[in-house]
Amino acid sequence: MNAGLIVDCYIGLGSNQAEPLQQLNMAREKIAALRATRLLQSSSIYQSEAFTLDDEPQNDYLNAVLKVQTQLSAIQLLDALQQLENEQGRIREKRWGARTLDLDILLYGDQKINVPRLTVPHIEMQNRNFVLLPLQEISPQIKISGNVAIQQLIENNRNQVLQKVKEFNGTA
Ligand code: AMP
């Protein structure tokens, strides 16, 4: 990477369609290959039941978190991630509907960003243990909005059940 502003950033990955494990592995490789970006850490992969707004059954989700260092601006990173979502054929039919690949910027350094396309820290992250548990695995000391310890946030969502199922590349 060239000299310049380098930011530690956390990215959330999720999939419940079209071979979710392959979707996550492919996305991780492509994120590691993004320009001006370096992959630092990967969580394990976690499995959980889908949240749904209606009674339609959905496949379980696989989720993980990556830590990267990047010289991309937050909007450049969002553009790059949305391009990857599109390349992997994300189905964007309805809110909380089934999706091939969902990529979220969870944290971008310690910046607070609030523009029409981007809210960072991610607005829902503190309510989702499928984000908080993998994040805690790679950065146990991290504090999120309001300087709250991640363990406390996880306990607030203790009714959400999920299991660590695999490592990246599919090993159990
Ligand atoms: P979703 O369907 O929940 O993945 O939302 C996608 C939309 O959220 C996109 O239009 C993004 O511009 C917007 N968005 C806002 N904040 C973020 C964020 N922190 N990471 C990714 N997308 C975001």
In a domain, 146, yes or no: no
Dist. CA 121 → ligand 1 center (Å): 11
Is 90 in the active site?
yes
In a domain, 166, yes or no: no
In a domain, 172, yes or no: no
d(CA 109, CA 4): 14
Q: Is the CB of 120 under 6 A from ligand 1?
A: yes
Digit-by-digit pLDDT tens for the chain (172 residues) are: 555 599 999 999 999 988 899 999 999 999 999 999 999 999 999 999 887 777 777 889 999 999 999 999 999 999 999 999 998 875 555 555 566 899 999 999 999 999 999 999 999 999 999 999 999 999 999 988 777 889 999 999 999 989 999 889 765 5
In a domain, 147, yes or no: no
Q: Which DSSP category does 17 fall into?
A: S
Q: Residue 141: helix, strand or coil by DSSP?
A: coil
Residue 84 domain boundaries = 7-124
What is the 3-state composition of the chain as percent helix, strand, coil, each rounded to the nearest 5?
A: 30, 30, 40
Going by CA atoms, what residue is nearest to atom 17 of ligand 1? Answer: 118
Is 8 in the active site?
no
In a domain, 170, yes or no: no
In a domain, 103, yes or no: yes
Q: Is the CB of 113 under 6 A from ligand 1?
A: no
Q: What is the DSSP track for 66-81?
A: EEEEE-S-HHHHHHHH
CATH number of the domain residue 68 falls in = 3.30.70.560
Residue whose CB lies within 8 A of the most ligand 1 atoms, among 88, 107, 122, 130, for a mutation test = 122
Residue 116: partners with Cβ closer than 8 Å, 6 or more residues away = none
In a domain, 71, yes or no: yes
Q: Is the CB of 132 under 6 A from ligand 1?
A: no
Q: Is the CB of 80 under 6 A from ligand 1?
A: no
Helix axes 74-87, 20-32, angle to 10 degrees: 140
In a domain, 87, yes or no: yes
Domain total of the chain? 1
Q: Is the CB of 128 under 6 A from ligand 1?
A: no
